[in-house]
Amino acid sequence: MLKKIFIALAVLIGIFVVVVALQPSEFRVARTATIAAPQADVFAQVNDLHKWDAWSPWAKLDPDAKVTFEGADAGEGAVMNWAGNDKVGEGTMTIVESRPNDRVRLKADFVEPMEGTSMSEFDFKPEGDQTAVTWTMSSQHGFFGKAFCLIMNGKKMIGNDMEKGLAQMKSVAEGAKSASN
């Protein structure tokens, strides 16, 4: 009986390993929101890392997180380092491309809770007197990253965070527009 249990367990583990191995290595999630604010105002929320605290979906998860900045004040070369609790982890984010009012590309290097690198892109498109913002995150995952995303539904989890961040960005940018009127 014990032998059958071990064989069944080995088969299940084998199936799990095969299923994880067959998952794509590329992880990509995109979300879009339309914000009733000028393109330049929305772009500024992303291009200046100092402003992320007001809208980032992860900023409020640890009010005591240590955040430091280096490099340029905004735009290409701006760097934000963070170290916080297990909800926000530790890492560095760098703006690697900044095209005024059009696109911001960032590279995030995570140290905790899991080492890894991801890329984010924010694209800004005018829609009348509003701005459509598309936030895309992508990375390459090895076996353990693929297993985590399979078990935890990483795309849904990150997608939900991105939607929350875009909603908060909308509130901040539209609030800034109202305050200036």
Q: Which two tokens stand for residue 152?
A: 């935890």
Look at residue 147 and tell me whether its pLDDT is greater than 80.
Answer: no
Q: Are strands 78-83 and 90-99 parallel, antiparallel or unpaired?
A: antiparallel
Mapping DSSP to helix (H, G, I), strand (E, B) and coil, where does residue 68 land? strand
Average pLDDT score over the chain: 89
Residue-level pLDDT at 119: 95
Give tens-digit pLDDT for 23-82. Answer: 777 778 999 999 999 999 999 999 999 999 999 998 888 989 999 999 999 999 999 999
Domain residue ranges of the chain, discontinuous segments joined by +: 26-180
Please determine, for residue 181, whether its predicted confidence score (pLDDT) is greater than 60. Answer: no
Residue 160's Cα: distance from chain center in Å? 10
Q: For a pLDDT cut of 90, what percent of the chain falls above it?
A: 59
Distance of CA 175 to the CA centre of its chain: 23
In the CATH scheme, what architecture does the domain 26-180 have? 2-Layer Sandwich (3.30)
d(CA 135, CA 168): 13
> Cα-Cα-Cα-Cα dihedral of 167, 168, 174, 178, to 10°?
140
